[in-house]
Structure formats: C-alpha cells, structure tokens
Amino acid sequence: MDKPFIYLKGEGKRNTYVVWDAHDSIATSATFTSEADNTIAKCITFVNSYNSPPNKKPMKTAVAAMIQGDKSLFYRCGFFGFQDTLWDVSGRHYFKLCTIQGAVDFIFGAGQSLYECKIVGNGNTYLGRAWRDYARVLFYNSSMSEIIVPKGWDCWYNVGREYQLTFAEHSCKGLGSNTARRVKWIKKLSPQYLNHLTSFSFIDDKQGWMRKLPFHIFMA
C-alpha cells in the first residue's frame, strides 16, 4: 500500500484475516506492506501462514507485515507468523492492544515505535538480540512469563561493541522479569531518558499527528 491517509477497518482481529504464505525473500514475502505515511489499521489480523504452525518445511523468513511509512497506527490488530513476523522497517508507529506472535525475530527493524501489546513467543526466548549497531529496545511496565531466558539479551554480531546497544527493562513483573542474571551490559536509564522513550512525544512530531488522531478509532 503506497497511498497515504488510508484507514483500514476490520470486524475484529479474530474475524478479519489477511493471509498469505510467501517466503522467498524478506523484501517480498510480506502479507501486508505499508509504504505510505499516515496509515491506520484497526481490528484486522495479518498472517503469514508459511511454517505456521511449525512443520517440517525449511525455516525461512516469512513476514506478516512490513511497515515503513511514517506516522502509522495499528489498533487491536493481530500479526501472526513464525520467523520475522512484524518488520517495523522505519518511521514512527504506535501499536495499541495488538497481538504479535512468532518464534524467531518476530518483531524487528529500525522503526521508532511504541508497543502497548501482547507479545507471544514459543519456548525459551531472549527479549531481543542486536540485528544492527546501536540497537535500542526498552521493555517498560511489562509482564514477562517464565519463558524469558535468565540472560535476557543477546548481542549477536556485536561482541565487543555491547556499549553501543541500548537494551533495558524497567518496572517489569512476572516470573521472567528477574534481572539478577541478566547480561552485565544491560542499560540503566536515567529518569529523563526513560521518560523520553515512554512518552508519546517519542513518536509525535511538531504538528502533533498523535493528538490529531480521530478519537473514535480508540472506541471498541
């Protein structure tokens, strides 16, 4: 989708599905692609059905949604896949009350985004690993189950450059939130920086696109 100011509304994320099973290339496999600014989607589930549920097929990237336009909102949406489910490529995005499910790198990219969502993984898992230099991820006020491995984070190809990474947790709860055995290079954020990353100003702009969103979108 490359036209801006589009509002997609389904009948509920358990009722309205967009499904495809492409898996040849990360750049071309997405079931849904949004390249335009000011996209809104509500009550729709995007599924890449390749290898989901897991089967004997080779593991390949199979993107359910690729989001690279700026100033986009996804409200009560679902994103389901196995590997590379949601590619948050670039831009400022807000994901509210969404369900995001996968097994390998199922939220990734360089988007500047806020997620107030349910994230579901299969088996023991890390909170994140650094796909690129200067990766930045914060889990804030999140509930974590016991599937989180004690180390919490993986620097992947950034061994020796962990100082470049900003991986952090704050005010989390649940069996997986114990940070006693986390990697030593986990970041402790200042109150000012924490507030910056968790406020709407992190993804808003001078024109206030977040404040101008139609209120009725957030009604059930």
Active-site residues, by number, are 105
Instruction: Tell me the C-alpha distance between 47 and 102, whole Å.
Output: 10
Residue 103 amino acid letter: A
* DSSP codes, 100-125: EEESBS-EESS-EEEEEEEEEE-SSB
Please, what sign has the CA dihedral across residues 49, 50, 52, 56?
positive
For residue 184, CA distances in Å to 35, 137, 197 come to: 38, 16, 22
Q: Are 198 and 138 in contact (CB under 8 A)?
A: yes
Q: Are 161 and 131 in contact (CB under 8 A)?
A: no
Instruction: Tell me the C-alpha distance between 207 and 2, whole Å.
Output: 22
For residue 14, the tally of other CB atoms under 10 A from its CB is 11
For residue 148, the tally of other CB atoms under 10 A from its CB is 23
